[in-house]
Each structure stands twice: as structure tokens, then as C-alpha cells.
Amino acid sequence: MNVILSKKTSIACMAILLAATAKAQDAQAPVELTLERAIEIALSENPSVKIAGREIEKVNYARKSAWYGLLPSMEATGQYSKYLAPSTMSLAGMIVESPTDFNVTANLQLSLPLFAPALWKSIQMTGIDMQLAVEKAHASKITLCNDVTKAYYGVLLAQDSYKALLDGYSLAEEVYSQAKKRFELGLNAEYDAISAEVQKANLQPNLLEVENGIERAKLYLKVLIGIESSVPVAIVGNLSDYEDVIAFLSPHDVGEAGYPKGGSNTDLKQLDIQKRLLQKSLQLQQTQRMPALAAFGQYGYAGTGNKAAESFFQPGVITPASESWFGQGLLVGLQLNIPLTGIFTNTVKEKQTAVQIQQLGIQRDYLEKNIDLQIRTAIDNMNKAAKQAEAAKKNEQLAQKGYEIASKRYENGAGTVLELQNASLALTQSQLTYNQSIESFLSSKADLEKLLGE
């Protein structure tokens, strides 16, 4: 009996073990994300990048299609017509029915452009269209990298803030523990224990809010990099890993890097390409006044079928049905087209395009000044955040020392619980401020890199 129970117990344990193993395998391991890994996934999975790639592909097909215009074009035409009612004609004052039953014609025509300025300008425009599509794709990648970078820093800020609040909650628990112990020993009033317990309870809503903020920040990051919201992710690192990146900059430093006014900014590059595109469009419109020369060749073949009918010249004699097939010969030559009215009508369109080029130039100058201002603003924000980080770091060290002193004083009965509470809150606040200043510096740095086209 014991043997049977032992076997049953072993089987049950094995079943439980196998079920637990299967459940563990079903549980999806979180995807570990560093900043570089997040950007790598985003550049391959984000829909905006995929759309930009399809746009390049579409423009490339248009460019190839334009080049096909230089190849010889061949066209074959054929026509078959049958008389359902006999045709008639007037002959010597009489109406005579024609015996024609059907007509057949076939033509083969070959054309080759020799001098076609408009076609060449169109081909050049498709090349510029390709450059514009590539630059737009590059701009979408820069914007995506900026968004992913700032979202990643946002998750780190939420995680580090949560850790700082957890440390603050631990400090509050320690204060409450000391206050309660001293109250039970009759060394302090009950108010100290109640006050410490209230401070600890006040931190719990903040912990829950920051915890929810972490999940929202992760969800936004997953949307940006193009992975399913149900996939768990683990963000690797913390903001203190970027302490060495913090440095003070000046507009002169940016100028030495080769970007005095954001010369590599993708928006400026797109405007430059659009200006070139308008210039080519103007040249294309000007070619409408130029002649075009093309070579052509043509070969024709025809056939006619006649029904059996009474001969007009020999009454009573029936002419049998017949068919006649004959070639119309091979014809080659040159075709010259000279526009006459277009010389005057296209001038208005050319003036419109010239005005558009001027407008684009004004827009570029304004954008260049605006980008220069944004660069200076980003540098100022970086310097401000760097100063805040430096001050917050010293503050954190002082707050830590202050808390240790306040804790010793309270243990020895020389300090009050309010003093200890203020010291713990000051330490937590200094840690939150330090994390916020690092995140502000990194976000401003990411904005600067976007402006510089990096």
C-alpha cells in the first residue's frame, strides 16, 4: 500500500514539475533594450521608416521610366473593315454599287528621338527627385532616432525616480521605526510616531504614480520602435551611467565642429534640393520653346476583298470574288517640331516658377536663422542642465551627510522627528533633482544632434 502511494506521489510530483516547466517556457522572457539596440530595432521596424523606403523605391521606378523615353519606340497598328451594306458611287450620272467586301491595313512605325531637350530635363528632374526622396528618408530616420532616444531617457528617468522614491520610502520606514520604538520606551510623544507614519503613507501614492509612469513610458517606447505592446521589455542602465557625457558647450564649440548654422540640418538640405528641382522645372519650361527632332521609319501593308458581282462594263458577265494584297513600301525620314504659340504662352509659367524660387530662397534664409536660434537654445539648455546636475550632485552628498547627522541626533535624543523627516525628504528630493537634470541634459543633447543632422 505504501509502495502504491509512493508511486502515485511521484507521478503527481512529476506532473506538477512538468506543468511548471511548460508554464515557465510559455512565459516570454523580457527583451533587454539598450539605447543602441532600441534605435536599431526602430530603424528596421518603425512604419515611418518603411514608408520612406517605399517612397525611394517608387521614385526609382519613375526615374527608370523617364530613361525609357530615350529608347526607340515601335508601334504596330492594324485595321479590318467589312461592308455590311454595299457602298455606292456616282459614275457617268448613274449610282453604281461597289463590289468591295472588306479592307485590311497594317502599319509598323519606328520612332527615335534625336534632339529632345524636354526629355533630358525630365530625366535630370527624376534624379533630383531621387535625391529628395533619399533626404526625406534620412530626415525620418533622424527624427525617429531623436524620438526613440528621448523616450529611452524618459524610461530611465521614471525608473531612477522610482528607485529614489523607494529609497525615500525606506528612509521613512526607518524614521517611523525609530519614532515608534522611542514612543514605546516613553522617550518621545505619540505625535512623533503618528507624524512619521503619515509621512510614510504619503509616499505610497507617489510610488504608484511613478510605477504607472514607467509602464506608460515603456509602452510609448515600444510604439516608437515598432514592437508589440504585449512584448515585455527590460530597459538596461540608469541615468548615472551618462554622468561622463555631461559637459559645458558654447556656440563657438559647435562652430568648430563644422556646423556654425546647422549646415547639415536635413530641413535645410531638403529646401536646397527643392530649389534645384524648381530650377530644373524652369529649364524644362524653357525647353518648350525649342525645336525637337526625331527619326522615324514606317512600313505598311494592305489588302482588299471584292464580292462576286456583275461587271459594269460587260452587263451579264459575273466577275468572280477576288482578294488583292500589296505592300505600301518602307518610308524613313526626319520629323522636326517647332513650337510657335508656345513661345509666348510659356513665359507666364516661367515667371511663376521664378517667383517660387525666390520664395524658397526667402524661406531658407528664415529657416537657417531659426535653426541657428534653436541650436543656441539647445546649448543653453544643456549648460543649464549641466549646472543643475553639478549642483544637485553636491546637494545629494550634503543631504546624505545631513540625514546621517539628523539620524544620530534623533537616536541620542538631541534632535526631533521633524528634523529627521526634513533630512530624509531633502535627500530624496536631491536624488530626484539630480536624475531630472541628467535627463534634461541628455534630451537637449539629442535635440542638438537632430538640429545638426547627426
The pLDDT tens digits of the residues spanning 167-195 come to 888 888 887 777 777 777 776 677 777 87
pLDDT of residue 25: 40
Kindly state the average pLDDT of the residues 233-258.
76
Note the pTM of the prediction, 2 decimals.
0.76
List 111's β-bridge partners, or say none: 73, 296
Residue 398 has pLDDT above 60, yes or no: yes
Judge whether 166 and 451 are in contact, CB under 8 Å.
no
Residue 24 has pLDDT above 50, yes or no: no
pLDDT of residue 437: 93
Kindly state the average pLDDT of the residues 357-381.
91
Confidence bin at 416 (pLDDT 50/70/90): confident
Residue with cell 504619503: 202
Which of 17-31, 156-170, 237-251 is predicted with the least confidence, judged by mean pLDDT? 17-31
pLDDT of residue 193: 77
Residue 276 has pLDDT above 70, yes or no: yes
Kindly state the average pLDDT of the residues 242-259.
68
Residue with cell 529627521: 420
pLDDT of residue 279: 92
Residue 143 has pLDDT above 80, yes or no: yes
Judge whether 100 and 309 are in contact, CB under 8 Å.
no
Q: How far is CA 221 from CA 30, 139, 149, 150, 225, in A?
A: 14, 19, 9, 9, 6
Residue 454 has pLDDT above 70, yes or no: yes
Kindly state the average pLDDT of the residues 308-320.
71
pLDDT of residue 28: 65
Kindly state the average pLDDT of the residues 349-373.
91
C-alpha grid cell for residue 13? 510530483
Kindly state the average pLDDT of the residues 428-451.
91
Average pLDDT of the chain is: 82
Share of the chain above pLDDT 90, in %: 26
Residue 10 has pLDDT above 90, yes or no: no
pLDDT of residue 313: 62
Residue with cell 531630472: 436
pLDDT of residue 381: 92
Confidence bin at 46 (pLDDT 50/70/90): confident
Could you tell me which CATH class the domain 117-290+340-451 is placed in? mainly alpha
Residue 287 has pLDDT above 70, yes or no: yes
The pLDDT tens digits of the residues spanning 258-269 come to 444 456 889 999
pLDDT of residue 2: 41
Closest CA relative to residue 144, chosen from 272, 273, 41, 265: 41
Give the whole-angstrom CA distance, residue 49 versus residue 247: 32
DSSP letter, residue 242:
G
Burial class (CB in 10 A: 0-12, 13-18, 19+), 179: buried
pLDDT of residue 20: 46
